[in-house]
Amino acid sequence: MNLSQRDRAVNWHPYTQMKTAEDAIAIVKGKGIYLFDDAGKQYIDAVSSWWVTLHGHAHPYIAQKVSEQLHTLEQVIFAGFTHEPAVRLSENLLKLLPENQKKVFYSDNGSTAVEVALKMCIQFAYNMGKQKTKILAFKHAYHGDTFGAMSVSGRSAWTQPFGEMLFEVIFIDPPTSENINELKSIIQKHSEELACFIYEPLVQGAAGMLMHASEDLSELMRLCRANGILMIQDEVFTGFGRTGKLFAADYLEEQPDIMCFSKGLTGGTMPMGITTASNRIFEAFLSEDRYKTLFHGHSFTANPLACAAALASMELLLKKETLCAIDLICKKHQSFSEELMQHPKVEHVRQTGTILAWEIKNNTRTSYFNETGKAAYRKFLERGIIMRPLGNVLYLVPPYCITSEELDVVYRNIMEVLDELEVLQS
């Protein structure tokens, strides 16, 4: 049996209907933007392996740093103990965040970073002796797959079996210049019961790369601030350069109370989640009363290997070459989007920094189960490009090490696949 067949016998894959799924492609090696399968075929990873890979696969510098750490200290309990990589990572990260962010809480993925943030907000109110348990979120939000994160995510096919068990959330549309006043009055109406507002800033990734303007989000944040509603800014996807600046926070006029990070945090090398908090949040847990402690932790909290990977990745990210590379991707995406807009099968082209998305016109409602997207996925794979559409939304989220020529190859293939695609016209 080959690797894909052995896989089918024993593995259950994420977001995969195992009855109808094709065999998983067996990847044996990664280098830069390329992945290589067991038959020697190479693929351009145009989606950064689910949006995590920043500097390319098997980056030698990150590998070296993780390897050094592996030979020094691989893991230590983080309650009662600490280590240099965790301290340094916190110091380095906080320097890059809005200046009110003062404390770092470690976990091991984006969903747990969100769970921690939600628990901080709910317990913040509890510790202050207030009854505030409602949460505000955007429609179609995605904050992860654990129960708390799922609760604050938009209701969809993904969450349907768990409907009754998800806690109550007030959902509002993402802001536009038209609906902003209506949204503000909804927030105002519920301000007494709202513990917090959780949002993906600027780009709602899993929803299909929906984008909103920084000015509109800033306005909602200002209102939350004025009404004592805590803000959780989920930068799990938008962090570490994706939006063209280091963080989506760099576009916003208001500072959130809490921030969540994962995905690009380690450059896509190791699983890690971070929740940062302002002193105001942190201090609400300081007490002689043990019941005011944040009772949360994971076995691998602040794993030294993941910290080492994150330190190395952040060092690479801040290099002039990398910042220039991010800039180049932004500029090239911009001119390509003009070309895309001319294509008769394309609509709703949108871009935030290195994230470029567009929709394939069709007569069915945009949905995760869209068949046109699946057909495009297969065509790109045949051409050696990994693009994983969200329904009929196609998008590019490339690693920053992609060259101008390689981007052109991807763009050319996109135009050709669009030409070939059979689109259901209404």
For 292-309, the DSSP string reads GS-----TTTT-HHHHHH
Q: Which amino acid is at 393?
A: V
What strand order describes the sheet that includes 42-45? 27-31, 34-37, 42-45, 385-386
What is the smallest separation between the CB atom of 425 and ligand PLP, expressed in angstroms?
Answer: 32
- Is 263 noted as a catalytic residue in this protein? yes
Q: Which is nearer to ligand PLP, 16 or 177 (CB)?
A: 16
> Which residue in the shown chain puts its C-beta closest to ligand PLP?
110
251 annotated ligand-binding residue? no
What is the smallest separation between the CB atom of 100 and ligand PLP, expressed in angstroms?
Answer: 21
What is the smallest separation between the CB atom of 110 and ligand PLP, expressed in angstroms?
Answer: 2
Q: Return the residue matching tokens 């190859």.
A: 409
61 annotated ligand-binding residue? no
Pick from 90, 111, 275, 313: which binds ligand PLP (CB under 6 A)? 111
110 annotated ligand-binding residue? yes
Binding of ligand PLP by 236 (CB under 6 A): yes
Which phi and psi (to 5°) does residue 204 adopt? -95, 95
Binding of ligand PLP by 262 (CB under 6 A): yes
48 annotated ligand-binding residue? no
Pick from 85, 144, 148, 154: which binds ligand PLP (CB under 6 A)? 144
Spatial CA neighbour of 233 closest among 257, 263, 265: 257
What is the smallest separation between the CB atom of 374 and ligand PLP, expressed in angstroms?
Answer: 21
Contacts with ligand PLP: how many residues (CB under 6 A)? 14
Binding of ligand PLP by 352 (CB under 6 A): no
DSSP secondary structure code for residue 155 in this structure = P
What is the smallest separation between the CB atom of 72 and ligand PLP, expressed in angstroms?
Answer: 26
Q: CA-to-CA distance for 127 and 230, rounded, in angstroms?
A: 14
Instruction: Answer for the pair 156, 141: CB distance below 8 angstroms, yes or no.
Output: no
DSSP secondary structure code for residue 168 in this structure = P
What is the smallest separation between the CB atom of 143 and ligand PLP, expressed in angstroms?
Answer: 5
Q: Return the residue matching tokens 């993904």.
A: 158
Binding of ligand PLP by 59 (CB under 6 A): no
Instruction: Answer for the pair 261, 52: CB distance below 8 angstroms, yes or no.
Output: no
Q: Which is nearer to ligand PLP, 111 or 278 (CB)?
A: 111
Instruction: Answer for the pair 203, 150: CB distance below 8 angstroms, yes or no.
Output: no
142 annotated ligand-binding residue? yes
Q: How many CB atoms lie within 10 A of CB 82?
A: 12
Q: Which is nearer to ligand PLP, 110 or 353 (CB)?
A: 110
- Is 61 noted as a catalytic residue in this protein? no
> Which residues, at least 6 apart from 333, have a Cβ–Cβ distance to it below 8 Å?
351, 354, 356, 396
Count Cα neighbours of 401 within 13 Å in the Cβ-side half-sphere.
Answer: 19
Q: Which is nearer to ligand PLP, 205 or 398 (CB)?
A: 205
List 106, 142, 199, 411, catalytic entry? 142
Pick from 48, 69, 90, 109: which binds ligand PLP (CB under 6 A)? 109
> What part of residues 166-225 is at the interface with ligand PLP (CB under 6 A)?
200, 205-206
Which phi and psi (to 5°) does residue 141 adopt? -65, 155
373 annotated ligand-binding residue? no
358 annotated ligand-binding residue? no
Spatial CA neighbour of 124 closest among 223, 221, 231, 255: 231
Residues near ligand PLP (CB under 6 A) are 109-111, 114, 142-144, 200, 205-206, 234, 236-237, 262
Q: Which residues are tagged catalytic? A: 15, 142, 234, 263
**Binding-site entries for pyridoxal 5'-phosphate:** 110-111, 234, 298-299
